[in-house]
A and B are shown apart, each in its own frame.
Chain A
Amino acid sequence: TQLLEQSPQFLSIQEGENLTVYCNSSSVFSSLQWYRQEPGEGPVLLVTVVTGGEVKKLKRLTFQFGDARKDSSLHITAAQPGDTGLYLCAGVRASGTYKYIFGTGTRLKVLA
């Protein structure tokens, strides 16, 4: 059973468009992170959110942690080709084994 479902799985958009990626679970997380992975490389952390309802901005990227700490979203404004990559959310459960659980991933391609 996959605990963190991301949607959409694939996304191909034109440069300048906006998009939102969702990360959903039935479990509560003490914190949630977003990573971006480019071809041939390992994932790199973009942001960590820890408080329910928290919103963080990183240039054109806006991250939100759900009030109940079960879900998160990543919104990209005016996407650029450099945003192309695999976006992964990762959560640490509030109870149980301390481990990061990675989402199913969203592959984004931004066309020039």
Chain B
Amino acid sequence: DTAVSQTPKYLVTQMGNDKSIKCEQNLGHDTMYWYKQDSKKFLKIMFSYNNKELIINETVPNRFSPKSPDKAHLNLHINSLELGDSAVYFCASSQGQSGNTIYFGEGSWLTVV
């Protein structure tokens, strides 16, 4: 069973489109995250939710909007996609926010053309 699953794994779309990436974790964790990994492999946190509440919102354009319908799900919606949004987006989860293992999904490879 996949602990953290995200879909789609690959997404190629045109500039200006709106797209969503879905994420689900079956670990019973109370904290979920979205990370962005750029072409240089730098992994940067975008959002963090704890018990469905937003606790971390890094400097991310307003075009990115996370939604957490329940503790097990954290979806990412992106409006008006731009070329610079091309990256790998990782969903992750942990129990608590400090020191515990972060479990990552396999990543969603977004290419904006």
Q: Give Cα A44 to B102, complex, Å.
A: 8
**How far apart are the CA atoms of A37 and B97 in the complex, in Å?**
21
A74 interface residue (CB < 8 Å to B): no
- Cβ-defined partner of B41 (8 Å) among A31, A42, A92, A107: A107
Please, which residues of chain A bring their CB within 8 A of the CB of B98? 30-31, 92, 98
How near does chain A come to B48, taking the closest CB pair, in angstroms?
Answer: 7
Assembled-state Cα–Cα distance A104/B43 (Å): 8
B residues contacting the other copy or chain, number (CB 8 A): 21
Asked if B104 contacts A97 (CB within 8 A), the reply is: no
Tell me if A66 is interfacial: C-beta within 8 Å of chain B.
no
A105 touches B41 (CB 8 A): yes
A43 CB-CB contact with B under 8 Å: yes
Cα–Cα, bound, A43→B27 (Å): 17
Listed in ascending order, the chain A residues whose CB lies under 8 Å from chain B are: 30-31, 33, 35, 37, 40-45, 48, 50, 86, 88, 90, 92, 97-102, 104-105, 107
> Given A30-B99, A31-B99, A41-B107, A102–B92 Cβ distance below 8 Å?
no
- Report B108 CB to chain A, min CB distance, Å: 10
Q: Which residues of chain B have C-beta atoms less than 8 A from A30's C-beta?
A: 98-99
Which residues of chain A come closer than 8 Å to B43, judged between CB atoms? Answer: 43, 88, 102, 105
Q: Which A residues touch B106, using CB under 8 A?
A: 40-42
Determine the chain B residues whose CB is within 8 A of the CB of A41 once the complex forms.
106-107
B21 to chain A: closest CB distance in Å?
A: 13
